[in-house]
Amino acid sequence: MHEHYGKPLAMPHDTALQLLLDDGRSVPYRIRVSPRSRRVRLTLTPRDGLVMVTPPGVQRDWLIKLANDWRGWVGKQMDQLGIREPDELSVPDVTLPAQIALPALGETWHLLQRFAPNTSARVRQGANATLVLSGDCLDIAASRRALERWLMRRAKDALPLLLAEVSRQTGLVYRQVSIRAQRTRWGSCSSHGDICLNYQILFLTPQLARHVLLHELCHTVRLDHSPRFWRTVARFEPELDARRAEMRRSWSSVPAWLQAAR
Ligand SMILES: [Zn+2]
């Protein structure tokens, strides 16, 4: 077994694949293994570029052949989207990060990779704010999922404490809190006072993270977004306008490598 510790391995991009179209254009694409997917499919969007999504266990050579068989479709799709040159397609950064900053907690974790083939990727906390990613870290998709699971554990440890703190400061009481991987919202609150928080709050600034928690706590008083609700928020948030403006840009705080994991 080859052990590697202390220095990050150079990670290969899974963006290196190129699809040659009949008109000579060469389109970059990447293969994403998704345990939830049942069949191989190809998607092309200006934002994510050309992505082949496949269930686990499909041979890479066969995937490359399949992409080649579908090159006519890719050319037509690019014409339909008005994309002339392949470099107009943005291909997100899909490599693993060297460090993970969690501004909400004031923490920065450094990622160390311990390569061990044929073992699935897992993440544990080491000394001095290091995260140790061990197993087959060349499987970038699986490594990203392992990092996402760690982020979820970190959020489950830290966010309930932050919520309790804001609750104590404001006197707004809730019943229970749960942490989830929500795709489209930062949090929610039920009519019973059960608060659900998105683990990605970890990537927000401390002020913005507090603002999200405060927002959900204020829903224990008012469930809607009426002027009365915002007056309640304003009582505890002197810079409400600034926070609301920041919230509109808040999703860009989530790092690209994690967004690519979706
Ligand atoms: Zn709300």
Q: Is residue 189 part of a domain?
A: yes
Tokens of 51: 């992505």
- Asked if 245 and 164 sit in the same domain, the reply is yes
- Asked if 157 and 222 sit in the same domain, the reply is yes
Distance 66 CA to ligand 1 centre (A): 45
Q: Examine the fold and report which residue of 88, 107, 127 is the final residue of a domain before the chain moves on.
A: 88
Question: Which strand (E) or helix (H) includes residue 193?
Answer: none
Q: Which domain holds residue 235?
A: 139-259
More confident residue, 254 or 49: 254
Residue 11 has pLDDT above 50, yes or no: no
pLDDT at 9: 30
Distance 152 CA to ligand 1 centre (A): 22
pLDDT at 191: 95
pLDDT at 92: 57
> CB of 196 within 8 A of CB of 177?
yes
23-59 pLDDT, tens per residue? 888 888 888 888 888 899 998 887 778 889 888 888 8
Residue 262 has pLDDT above 70, yes or no: no
Distance 81 CA to ligand 1 centre (A): 35
pLDDT at 151: 97
Distance 3 CA to ligand 1 centre (A): 48
pLDDT at 87: 73
Distance 209 CA to ligand 1 centre (A): 14
What are the counts of helices (DSSP H) followed by strands (DSSP E) for the chain? 7, 11
pLDDT at 147: 95
pLDDT at 96: 85
- Asked if 178 and 252 sit in the same domain, the reply is yes
- SS3 label, residue 82: coil
Distance 257 CA to ligand 1 centre (A): 27
Please tell me the total count of domains within the chain.
2
215-246 pLDDT, tens per residue? 999 999 999 999 999 999 999 999 999 999 99
Distance 136 CA to ligand 1 centre (A): 41
147-189 pLDDT, tens per residue? 999 999 999 999 999 999 999 999 999 999 999 998 789 999 9
Q: Is residue 193 part of a domain?
A: yes
Distance 189 CA to ligand 1 centre (A): 8
pLDDT at 94: 63
pLDDT at 84: 79
- Asked if 174 and 73 sit in the same domain, the reply is no
- Asked if 155 and 243 sit in the same domain, the reply is yes
For 63, 71, 94, 145, 184, the CA distances from 259, given in Å and listed in that order, are 23, 26, 9, 11, 12
∠ CA 70-44-96, nearest 5°, is 110
Rounded distance, CA 9 to CA 136, Å? 12
Distance 225 CA to ligand 1 centre (A): 6
Average pLDDT over all residues of the chain:
87
Residue 86 has pLDDT above 80, yes or no: no
CATH number at residue 222: 3.30.2010.10
Q: Is residue 169 part of a domain?
A: yes
Distance 216 CA to ligand 1 centre (A): 6
| Of 82, 72, 51, the residue nearest 261 (C-alpha) | 51
Tokens of 75: 């050319």
Q: Is residue 149 part of a domain?
A: yes
Residue recorded with tokens 């694409």: 29
Distance 100 CA to ligand 1 centre (A): 28
Rounded distance, CA 229 to CA 221, Å? 8
